[in-house]
Amino acid sequence: MSNHLRRLTLVCTFLAALAASGCASRPETGFLAAVSDAAPGATEHSILVATTRKRDERPGTLFSGERAKPLDFAMVRLSVPATHKQGEIEWASSAPGNSQTDFVVRQAGYLDGEKAFLASLNAQLALRPRGSRKVLLFIHGYNTMFAESLYRFGQVVHDAKAPAVPVLFTWASRGALTQYVYDTNSATAARDDLERTIRLIFDSKAEQVNILAHSMGNWVTVEALRQIKISGKAPPIGKLGRIVLAAPDIDVDVFKSQMRRFGKPKKPFFIVVSKDDKALAASRFIAGGQERLGADGDTTELAELGAVVIDMTDVKATDSTNHGKFAQLAEIAPQLQRVLEHGVHKPHSPGSATHDAVSGSLEAIVAAPLAILGLPLKIITR
Crossing angle between the packed helical segments 3-22 and 180-189, to the nearest 10 degrees: 90
The confidence score (pLDDT) of residue 381 equals 75
Residue at 294 is within a domain? no
Residue at 163 is within a domain? yes
Residue at 263 is within a domain? no
Is the distance from CB of 293 to CB of 248 less than 8 angstroms? yes
Is the distance from CB of 307 to CB of 346 less than 8 angstroms? no
Supply angle C-alpha 181, 271, 15, rounded to 5: 35
Phi, psi of 69, rounded to the nearest 5 degrees: -130, 145
The confidence score (pLDDT) of residue 11 equals 53
Q: Pick out the chain residues at pLDDT < 70.
A: 1-25, 264-265, 297-298, 331-335, 338-374, 382
Three-class SS state of 43: strand
pTM attached to this predicted model = 0.85
Compute the chain's Rg from CA coordinates. Answer: 20
Euclidean distance between CA atoms 244 and 212, whole angstroms: 5
Name the strand (E) or helix (H) holding 31: none
The confidence score (pLDDT) of residue 324 equals 77
Is the distance from CB of 52 to CB of 186 less than 8 angstroms? yes
Residue at 326 is within a domain? no
Range of the domain at 96: 3-235
The confidence score (pLDDT) of residue 114 equals 98
Using the Cα atoms of residue 291, residue 292, residue 294 and residue 295 in order, give the sign of their dihedral: negative
Our count of domains for the chain comes to 1
The confidence score (pLDDT) of residue 349 equals 42
Residue at 311 is within a domain? no
Residue at 361 is within a domain? no
Calculate the CA 258 to chain-centre distance.
Answer: 20
Residue at 357 is within a domain? no
Residue at 44 is within a domain? yes
